[in-house]
Amino acid sequence: MTATATYMYAITRPIAPEAVSDLRGIGGTPVRVIEHGELAALVGTVDLAEFGERPLAQHLADLEWLGRAAREHDEVVRAAARLTTTMPLRLATVCHDDDAVHARLDSVRGAVLTVLPELDGRDEWGVKIFAVADRTTPAETAPAASGAAYLTQRRRQLTSRDEWIDTATRTAFRAFGRLAEFAAASRQQTPQDQRLSGAEHPMVLNAAFLVSRRDEDAFRAAVADLAAEWPPGGVVLTGPWPPYSFVPNDDR
Amino acid sequence: MTEHLPAPQNGMSLADVLDRVLDKGLVIAGDIRVNLLDIELLTIKIRLLIASADKAREMGIDWWEHDPSLSNGKRDIAAENRALRSRIAELEATRQQAPQENQ
């Protein structure tokens, strides 16, 4: 058993090894290019004491470790995406050694070469929409005179809150359609839960768009128009991201 | 520990990063097997937690510290999980009776 393993960050079109010589990845480790015909993999050497099956399972449950690794992984994938067309790999894809990476590249070569052209010259953008509304909060309403009155009042509050969220969700869905016109592909993801996100308002849209760099200005203008129609803070744009949400992951 | 959770930058929070690096991206089989179900469970829990451990604690959701599958202290669940997984693999192998390449 060797004490190290090869951590894979992304599969890309060919990258010159010198292009990543200053790049650092997980735990500050150097990033290398493994060349494989018309493909390349961005990898690093990691310690099995940290990335073996047992320690890795433990680390993934440690929010501090996970948050740091996620940022470091994302930084390398971003750097790759700035250099060439990039297929991000999911966090913690670890092979025994470089030979095993070549074997993986062989096995996914066909699929990767099919998808890469769809990603050429395009970035992922995230748009989150929050149901921001000025409404009377339950705490501000007059106290109910009786238990029954309280229940009636509470039911009315919950109903109006549901209706308000429904309306915001429908409006956000139309907004998604408008923005999708500027994108080569678009996805709706599970909204992040507001009770735990600490966000002030419920999220009603968590969308990703694959946008050609040619159309970036038009897309951003459309997001700005949309933001102007919502209360302040209602529309949040993130990006550009590497195309995480637009690579196949159907073998999950 | 929450001080290590960076505030949103440019509208981009740790939740947004985790949403992508855990749940998205190309999934290929590495040699170090991170069970996909483990990752899915983790993703679901993180989606619940979303960058605010303090908020979760306020709400009495302290599984992060006490859930055996997520706390560092208890290895028995992980060991049991591994044992079950290898048992499943054995059963599958005997059921299929065909030599199968370990992917």
pLDDT band at B24 (very low <50, low <70, confident <90, very high): confident
pLDDT above 80 (res A144): no
**What's the N-to-C CA distance of chain B in angstroms?**
37
Within-domain flag for A252? no
Task: Flag if A63 and B55 touch (Cβ within 8 Å).
Answer: no
Q: How far apart are CA B7 and CA A152, in angstroms?
A: 40
> Which of A96, A120, A144 is the last residue in one of the domains?
A120
One domain, residues A183 and A77: no
Give the span between the Cα atoms of A132 and A230, in whole angstroms.
Answer: 8
The CATH code of the domain that includes A183 is 3.30.70
> What gap in Å lies between CA A26 and CA B69, rounded to an integer?
24
What is the spatial distance between Cα A1 and Cα A183, in angstroms, rounded to a whole number? 47
Helical segments of chain A, H only: 48-51, 53-60, 63-83, 98-119, 147-180, 194-197, 216-229
pLDDT above 90 as % of chain A: 66
Domain count, chain A: 2
Specify whether the CB–CB gap between A216 and A183 falls below 8 A.
no
How confident is residue B75, by pLDDT bands cut at 50, 70 and 90? Answer: very low
Whether A166 is covered by a domain: the verdict is yes
User: Domain end: A65, A96, A120, which one?
Assistant: A120
Nearest by CB to residue A193, choosing from B30, B48, B64, is: B48
Instruction: Examine the domain organization and report whether A135 and A110 are in the same domain.
Output: no
The C-alpha atoms of residue A176 and residue A173 are separated, in whole angstroms, by 5
Q: Which residue from B minimizes the CA distance to A127?
A: B11
Query: How many Å lie between the alpha carbon of B72 and the closest alpha carbon of chain A?
Result: 6
B22, B33, B51: residue with CB nearest A91? B22
Domain positions in chain B: 2-71
The boundaries of the domain holding residue A170 are: 123-246
At B59 the pLDDT is 46
| Residue A251 domain-assigned (yes or no) | no
A234, closest residue in chain B (CA to CA): B11
Buried b (16+ CB within 10 A) or exposed e, A174-211: ebbeebbebbbbbbebebbebebbbbebbbbbbbbbbb
Residue A86's nearest CA partner among A59, A132, A124, A141 is A124
> Do A165 and A192 have their domain in common?
yes
- The C-alpha angle with vertex B101 and arms to B99 and B103, in degrees rounded to 5, equals 155
Domain termination site, one of A99, A120, A141: A120
In 3D space, the residue among A19, A6, A9 whose CA is nearest the CA of residue A84 turns out to be: A19
Residue A54 lies in a domain: yes
A116 and A16 in a common domain: yes
Is residue A43 within 8 A of residue A8, CB to CB? The reply is yes
State ipTM.
0.82
Does the distance separating the beta carbons of B32 and A88 come in below 8 Å?
no
| SS percent in chain A: helix, strand, coil, step 5 | 50, 25, 25
Quick one: tokens of A19?
A: 């292009």
8 Å CB contact between A69 and A59: yes
> 0.80 cut: is pTM over it?
no
- A238 CB neighbours in chain B (<8 A) are 10-12, 16
Inter-chain contact A245–B24, Cβ cutoff 8 Å?
Answer: yes
- Please check whether residue B79 is in contact with residue A54, taking contact to mean a CB–CB distance below 8 angstroms: no
> Which residues in chain B have their CB less than 8 angstroms from residue A49's CB?
none
Same domain, A42 and A24: yes
Residues in B closer than 8 angstroms to A61, CB to CB, are 42, 69-72
Q: How far apart are CA A119 and CA A135, in angstroms?
A: 43
Q: Are A93 and B30 in contact (CB < 8 Å)?
A: yes
Angstroms from B101 CA to nearest CA on chain A: 13
Query: What mean pLDDT is predicted for residues A39-53?
Result: 94
Alpha-carbon distance B49 to nearest alpha carbon in chain A (angstroms): 6
Residue A165: inside a domain: yes
With contact defined as beta carbons under 8 Å apart, do A43 and A101 qualify? yes
Helix, strand or coil, per DSSP, at residue B34: coil
Judged by CB atoms closer than 8 Å, whether chains meet at B31 and A70 is answered as no
**Contact residues for A84 (Cβ-Cβ < 8 A; gap 6+):** A12, A13, A14, A15
Percent of chain A with pLDDT over 70: 91
Examine the pLDDT at B99 and tell me if it is beyond 60. Answer: no
